[in-house]
Structure 1
Amino acid sequence: MDIIIIGCGKVGTTLAEQLVREDYNVVMIDTSAERMQRVSDDIDAIKLVGNGASISMQIEAGVQTADMLIAVTGSDEMNLLCCLIARKVGHCHTIARVRNPIYSNELTFIKQQLGISMIINPEYAAATEISRILRFPSAIKIDPFAKGKVELLKFKVKPEFKLDGLSVMDIDSQFRCDVLIGGVERGDEVAIPDGKFVIKNGDMVSIIASPANSAEFFRKIGIQTNQVRNTMIVGGGTIAYYLAKLLAAMKIRVKIVEKDKARCEVLTELLDDALILNGDGTDRQLLLEEGLMTAEAFVTLTNMDEENVFLALYAKENSSAKLVTKVNRIAFDELISKLDLGSLIYPKYITADYILQYVRAMQNTIGSNVETLYHILDGRAEALEFVIREESEVTGIPLMNLNLKSNLLIGCINRGGNIKIARGQDCIQQGDTVIVLTSQKGLRDIRDILRK
């Protein structure tokens, strides 16, 4: 499959790296030779310097025979123009990144009129993920499946939960909440656990369940499940705007601290339900005076990773707030993950996951395709939702009798809206959607869960 990526910033480079790893043929285009030189040599892609909106440049990149063109430059209008030209010259699938809130109510019209296959808004996607976390603050990360009927939730095991030393089978029999432990992170190690796997304090555990069953499980182990009632946000950018709108709909009070006076005036006009404060978010006295110590959630959304990290550490020392920390660069991701900064939000990973999900869905071969995809377990595993459109080697056979690949777990079966945690005697049927957790990268069809 041949894919052209226009724009080699954080999202474009992350996406190219993942696509090359899955053996797609990738061509990267960027106007900046300097930016192109910064792209790692490990990314085995053709790299072209030039204007991606130029017809001759797109033809040189192979748009006439390409399967997909993805435009993720810093300009919304440039991205849309690139996709329009690609549709006219090459008739390929197109994906555009569109970030400006001005277009947020017009995306369906733009998509239909320009023939664009997919429009992705990274800031809105990041805000949506943060809002899910604040609805269920004890979770570090929440990934929805089956249109929200199933969730993959990650939490940290603490001594008061009394899970230390219990195997997965023990937890299942003791709590009886119809949840499935699908992944465990322990230091630098990750695991897709079997029933004999023993949980320890400090583990990062990911469970898969319906929202009702996960809430019941968390209550039984002593975790609060109520959403936060108020949130302090530092940084008034586009993510903060979208997040404030989402939280207002959830009846969560919002306070935004932004040092740019002009931006504060814009936010005041746009957000009726949020309190906008013009001030420096790194001013510790200001944060304390504005209620940091009583805040139930503290979200750092400035444009500087270092600032976000230090603000989260300060909030951790001076409040019991749920922490959400935005990180753009990943040069020190392993170090950052050890600082216990609450929920880490990587907008470029969220964007790449959405796009990769669409690419995988195009690759379906026998009537099953990827409906949802998330990178989990510190990016070393994936959770995928397959739609089963036809019968195949995996349908009608008890799961216990399938010759599954190692480090792979069938987590859940959605049959007509009825959610069922998968057990050994269950069978996959045509019409189901099936959630699979695996450290085997690149699954594109439900048959890929089987050993060859």
Structure 2
Amino acid sequence: MKIIIVGCGKVGLTLTEQLNNEGHDITVIDKDGSKLRSVTDNIDVMGVEGNGAIYQVQMEAGIKETDLLIATTNSDELNMLCCLIAKKAGNCHTIARIRNPEYANEVQYIREELNLSMAINPELAAATEIARLLKFPSVIKIDAFAKGRVELMKFIIPDNSVLDNMQVYEVGPRLHCSILICAVERGADVIIPGGNFRLQKGDKISFVASSSQASEFFRQVGISNTTVRTAMLVGGGKISYYLAKMLEDTGIKIKIIEQDLARCHELSELLPKAMIIHGDGSDQQLLMEEGITQTESFAALTGFDEENIMLSLYAASVSKAKLVTKINRIAFENIIQQMNLGSIIYPKMITADGIIRYVRAMQNSMGSNVETLYKIVQNKAEALEFRVGKDAPLIGIPLEKLSFKDNLLIACINRGGQIITPRGKDTIEPGDTVIVVTTHSGLKDLKDVLK
């Protein structure tokens, strides 16, 4: 597919890399010539210097032959204008990044009026993920499928766990819960386990289950998983605002520490149920006075990765809080993963996942469609949800008779709200949504799961 990306910021660069890796023909537009050269020198894409909202610049980038334009500049208004012009000039699909909370309640109206295919808000998406994590504090990552009925959860097997040395096929029968372990991280290795795979303490395991089955699983393995009651957020940016707004009716007591006095006043008006503290979040004495040792969750959400990392390491040293760390740049990811930073949130990766899901759905060919997509396990594996059409292959054939690719697992079947943990005799039927976990990148259609 031919795709134009307007804006070479963090989200634009991440999208350029990932969509280029998936074999698309990418053209990047940016006003900053040095940024543009940096992208085109490192990635095999075309670059056009100029304002992406100018008709002539879009024409130079090839808007007439373009399938999709994605506008990811720092200005919401510029992004919307880019999409409006692209729609008129090239009649292509359009995606705009719209981040301002003032637009949050009007996104549906904006989408319809500007005929946008999709509006993305990285901060809102990140806040949604953090809110899910605070409800399951023992989990380090949660991804939702089947409109929230099914979740893919990741946690670390602790010392002296009943799971240590247990084989995967034994987990369901011995713990009396219907979950499916679909990925295991052991050191630098990522494994899609078979039934005979033996788990070990320290493994990071990802499993698929409904919320109720997940709760039962954690109860059986002796892990306390009650929702946190207090949350301390350092940094009063958009993510903290959206998160506090989501949690204000849950009974969780929110405390936000922000250095900018004007922003504190603004947050006090917007979030009457939250406690807003004016101060430097990296001041250890302030953190102690505000109760960091007693808080049940701590989220480092400033605009600086290094500060967020240091804050989370400090919180881990003085408390037993559920930790959430926001990271914007992904340099040194292997080192970051080895630190005790709790759940690491990458807003730009969450955004990229949503857009890549949409791009793959545009390409679907034989009656199945990518509904949901998450990069999991340090981007080394994918979890995808396909909606099965009446013309899809595989229909009605028992799973045990199908020849699936290696390192691929059918993790769940959702049939009209009934969640099925697949066994060999189960079949895939029209109208189902099917969750697939695999280390193969680029699956666009359900038929791609077969050898």
Measured against aligned partners, the alpha-carbon deviations of 1:295-342 in whole angstroms (never above 9, x if no partner) come to 000000000000000000000000000000000011111111100210
* Pairing of 1:41-190 with structure 2 (within 5 A): 41-190=41-190
Partner residue of 2:387?
A: 387
| CA positional deviation for 1:289 | 0.7
Partner of 2:28: 28
Q: Contact (CA 8 Å) 1:391, 1:429: kept in 2 or not?
A: no
Residue identity opposite 2:110 in structure 1? I
Asked whether the 8 Å contact 2:186–2:202 carries over to 1, the reply is yes
1:32-77 CA distances to partner (integer Å, 9 max, x unpaired)? Answer: 1121233264522112211111111111111111110000001101
TM-score for the superposition, normalised by structure 2: 0.99
What SS does structure 2 have at the residue aligned with 1:255? strand
- Cα gap change, 1:291/1:40 in structure 2, threshold over 3 Å: closer, same or farther? farther
How far did residue 345 of structure 1 move? 0.1
Paired amino acid for 2:258:
E
CA distance in 1: counterparts of 2:219 and 2:157, whole angstroms:
14
Q: Which stretch shifts more, 172-181 or 368-377?
A: 172-181
d(CA) in 2 for partners of 1:70, 1:43: 18
Q: Identify unmatched segments of 5+ residues in structure 1.
A: none
Give the equivalent residue in structure 1 for 2:415: 415
Match of 1:425 in 2: 425
Deviant stretches of 4+, over 3 Å: none
Match of 2:323 in 1: 323
Question: Could you say which residue in structure 1 is the equivalent of 2:344?
Answer: 344
Q: Whole-Å Cα distance in 1 between the matches of residues 188 and 269 of structure 2?
A: 46
Match of 2:313? Answer: 313
Which shifted more, 396-405 or 164-173?
164-173
- The residue that corresponds to 1:273 in the other structure is 273
The one-letter amino acid paired with 1:63 is I
| 1:184–1:191 CA contact under 8 A, matched in 2 | yes
Query: 1:274-313: per-residue Cα shift (whole Å, max 9, x none)?
Result: 0000000000011011010110000000000000000000
1:160: Cα distance to partner? 3.3
Paired residues of 1:305 and 1:329 also in contact (CA < 8 A): yes
Counterpart of 2:217?
217
Give the structure 2 partner of residue 449 of structure 1: 449
**Alpha-carbon distance, 1:423 to partner:** 1.0
- Once the two structures are TM-superposed, the CA of residue 367 in structure 1 deviates from its matched residue by 1.5
Which residue of structure 2 lines up, in the alignment, with residue 439 of structure 1?
439
Task: Verify the 8 A CA contact 2:160 2:201 in the aligned structure 1.
Answer: no
Distance in 1 separating the partners of 2:70 and 2:76: 12
Q: Which deviates more from structure 2 when the two are superposed, residues 167-176 or residues 65-74?
A: 167-176
Contact 1:138 1:224 (C-alpha < 8 Å) held by counterparts: yes
Instruction: Answer yes or no: is the 8 Å Cα contact 2:368–2:392 preserved in 1.
Output: no
Q: Is the 8 A contact 2:316 2:340 kept in 1?
A: no
**Quick check: 143-152 or 101-110, which moved more?**
101-110
**Bigger mean CA offset, 184-193 vs 384-393:** 384-393
Asked if the contact 1:400–1:425 (Cα under 8 Å) also holds between the matched residues in 2, the reply is yes
- Alpha-carbon distance between aligned partners in 1 of 2:160 and 2:151, rounded to the nearest angstrom: 24
Task: Give secondary structure in 2 for the equivalent of 1:39.
Answer: helix
Deviation, 1:198, is: 1.1
- Give yes or no for contact 1:366–1:390 (8 Å, CA) kept in 2: no
Structure 2 partner of 1:375: 375
The question of 1:201 aligning with 2:179 is answered: no
- SS of the aligned residue for 2:411 comes to strand
Corresponding residue SS for 1:84:
helix
Does residue 296 in structure 1 map to residue 280 in structure 2?
no
* 1:114-153 Cα distance to aligned partner (Å, 9 max, x none): 1111101110000000000001100000000000100000
* Cα offset, 1:88, TM superposition: 0.5
Give the Cα–Cα distance (whole angstroms) in 2 for the partners of residues 39 and 391 of structure 1.
41
- SS at 2:248's partner residue? helix
Q: In the alignment, what sits opposite 1:254?
A: 254
Show the counterpart of 1:14: 14
* Pair 40,247 (structure 1): closer, same or farther in 2 beyond 3 Å: farther
Residue 187 of structure 1: CA displacement? 1.2
Query: CA–CA distance in 1 between the matches of 2:255 and 2:311?
Result: 16
Residue number in structure 1 paired with 2:242: 242
Q: Give per-residue Cα distances to partners, 1:413-450, cap 9 Å, x unaligned.
A: 00011001111110000110000001110111100101
- Secondary structure of residue in 1 paired with 2:63: coil
**Letter matched to residue 440 of structure 1:** H
Give the Cα separation in 1 of the matches to 2:188 and 2:42. 23
Which consecutive unaligned segments of at least 5 residues does structure 2 have? none
Q: Distance in 2 between matches of 1:22 and 1:422?
A: 29
The answer on whether the counterparts of 1:267 and 1:276 sit within 8 Å (CA) in structure 2 is yes
Matched letter for residue 195 of structure 1:
G
1:139 aligned partner, one-letter code: V
User: CA separation in 2, counterparts of 1:12 and 1:29?
Assistant: 10
What secondary structure does 1:139 align onto? coil
Deviation at 1:109, TM superposition (A): 1.0
Q: Which whole-Å CA distance do the structure 1 matches of 2:411 and 2:74 have between them?
A: 38
TM-score by length of 1: 0.98
| Cα separation, 1, equivalents of 2:48 and 2:188 | 37
- How many residues are treated as equivalent by the alignment? 451
- Give the fraction of aligned pairs with identical amino acids, expressed as a percent: 55
CA positional deviation for 1:172 = 2.7
Secondary structure of the residue aligned to 2:303 is coil
CA distance in structure 2 between the partners assigned to 1:111 and 1:49 by the alignment: 27
2:150 counterpart letter in structure 1: V
Aligned partner of residue 69 in structure 2, secondary structure: strand
Work out whether residues 232 and 295 of structure 1, in 8 Å CA contact, stay in contact via their aligned partners in 2.
yes
